[in-house]
Amino acid sequence: MHLTKEEERAYDGEFGWANQICMKILVRLGELFNATRLIRINSAHVSGVSYKTLGDAPLEFLETLANADVKVKAKATLNPQSIDKEYLCKRLPPDTCQKQRKIIEYFAKMGFNQSLTCTPYYLEKPTRTSHLAWSESSAVIYTNSVIGAWTNREGGPSALAAAIIGKTPNYGIHKTGNRQPKILVKVERRLQNEVEFGALGIFLGKILGDKIPIIQGLQNASEDNLKQLGAALASTGMVNMFYHKNIDIRASEIEKITVEAVDIKQTIENLNTTKTQKPDLVFIGCPHCSLNEIKQIAELIGNKKVKNGTELWVCTSRYTKEKAGKYVERIEQSGAHLITDTCAVVTWTDKLGIKTIMTNSAKTAHYAPPLNKAEIILTPLKNCLKTAFEG
């Protein structure tokens, strides 16, 4: 890999231990993937922020890095943590919350924006074709496919290193040639709701490997539907982008597959792990809700009140919550919890006594059984809300 004089000096440790280790992470990564140089990034987004998923091992490293007085050289945001400020932090063990706060303190010391969301693109929409180093798979696939910015799916450490150095190796999806579709997917039936879009993602992720698809038949897809599709696709597969509009390619040159209605139906059935329709928790907001979704939820709630014995969480970013004003009020007046900074997957729902989660997110349905020891009811938003209000 070619390094500039300045980069070489960082690599040799002239700018301190922290810069050196970050530069070494990036160079090693670049060498692994045959990058030729480092390129400047517009932003970095770091996952692996939740103490639940991180554990104790990386705490010391983060502390040492933060105490080395190193600062980010690109705009840098953080994925959700394991607690919020007002609700869950009061229900979880104090020492656990204390450790989580420490993690955020270390990141803040390095100059990270405490965005604590998996939808950093609502905070600031990346410009088309700008280079990023993001490590939240749902955000990576959304920004590549819907927004048109360019980022590989980084690991937590490489996104952190990219934020500190302000650069990333020019490998993978940063190269035009690697953004070419390899397979044409024809969706036979018009998808009806966000759960079906998510199910399509789960289904395709398992069969595509890392082949970038052109998905035909999504004419009715809203950006929120595409967010569900991408989040699920990146959960079961290694794909970091998809095309959802026709692009100029000779269809005869690439592999083709068809997704039938029965594939979607079976995927949804498989994601549902229980027959009960009585959840302990109804969870909306994976990935974190957009302003449009918050508005839709508030309108569907109207003047209703959450039924006793059920919890309703609506998860979003601080930024979206701030923008949502009167909709937030309406949601909270219903007895629902509008939660920022975290979600039902990256917090300890099992420690809160939650055994069954109802959600409209296929990504949550995929992860909550192994990570939260929870049974899943996967059903569209309207049903989720109906259950929360009527039981």
Place of tokens 């549902």: 272
Q: Which stretch binds ligand F3S (CB under 6 A): 60-68, 157-165, 254-262, 340-348?
A: 340-348
> Would you count residue 345 as binding ligand F3S (CB under 6 A)?
yes
Taking the complex as a whole, how short is the minimal distance between the CB of residue 231 and ligand F3S, in angstroms? 5
Nearer residue to ligand F3S within complex by CB, 181 or 237? 237
**Residues 293 to 332: which contact ligand F3S by CB under 6 A?**
315
> Would you count residue 202 as binding ligand F3S (CB under 6 A)?
no
**Residues 53 to 112: which contact ligand F3S by CB under 6 A?**
79-80
- Taking CB under 6 A as the rule, which mask of x and - marks residues 114-143 in contact with ligand F3S? ----x-------------------x-----
Q: Which stretch binds ligand F3S (CB under 6 A): 216-224, 246-254, 285-293, 328-336?
A: 285-293
> Would you count residue 339 as binding ligand F3S (CB under 6 A)?
no
The helix/strand/coil state of 258 is strand
Nearer residue to ligand F3S within complex by CB, 21 or 338? 338
Which tokens go with 14? 């002239």
DSSP 55-114: -STTHHHHHHHHHTT---SSEEEE---S--SSSHHHHS-HHHHHHHHHHHHHHHHTT-B-
CA torsion 239-160-318-380 (nearest 10°) is 20
Taking the complex as a whole, how short is the minimal distance between the CB of residue 117 and ligand F3S, in angstroms? 8
Q: How far is the CA of 387 from the CAs of 77, 328, 372, in angstroms?
A: 35, 20, 21
> Would you count residue 163 as binding ligand F3S (CB under 6 A)?
no
Nearer residue to ligand F3S within complex by CB, 52 or 174? 52
Q: Which helix (H) or strand (E) holds 213?
A: strand 213-216
Residues in the interface with ligand F3S (CB under 6 A) total 14
The secondary structure of residue 307, as a DSSP letter, is P
Q: Which helix (H) or strand (E) holds 158?
A: helix 156-165
Query: Rounded to 5 degrees, what angle do the CA atoms 296, 299, 303 make?
Result: 150
Q: Which stretch binds ligand F3S (CB under 6 A): 7-15, 144-152, 246-254, 281-289?
A: 281-289
Looking from the CA of 326 toward its CB, the CA atoms found within 13 Å total 2
Taking the complex as a whole, how short is the minimal distance between the CB of residue 346 and ligand F3S, in angstroms? 5
Q: How far is the CA of 281 from the CAs of 328, 341, 391, in angstroms?
A: 19, 18, 11
> Would you count residue 231 as binding ligand F3S (CB under 6 A)?
yes
Return d(Cα 299, Cα 293) in angstroms, integer.
Answer: 10
Nearer residue to ligand F3S within complex by CB, 171 or 319? 319
> Would you count residue 374 as binding ligand F3S (CB under 6 A)?
no
Q: Which residues bind ligand F3S (CB under 6 A)?
A: 79-80, 118, 138, 231, 286-288, 315, 343, 345-346, 363-364
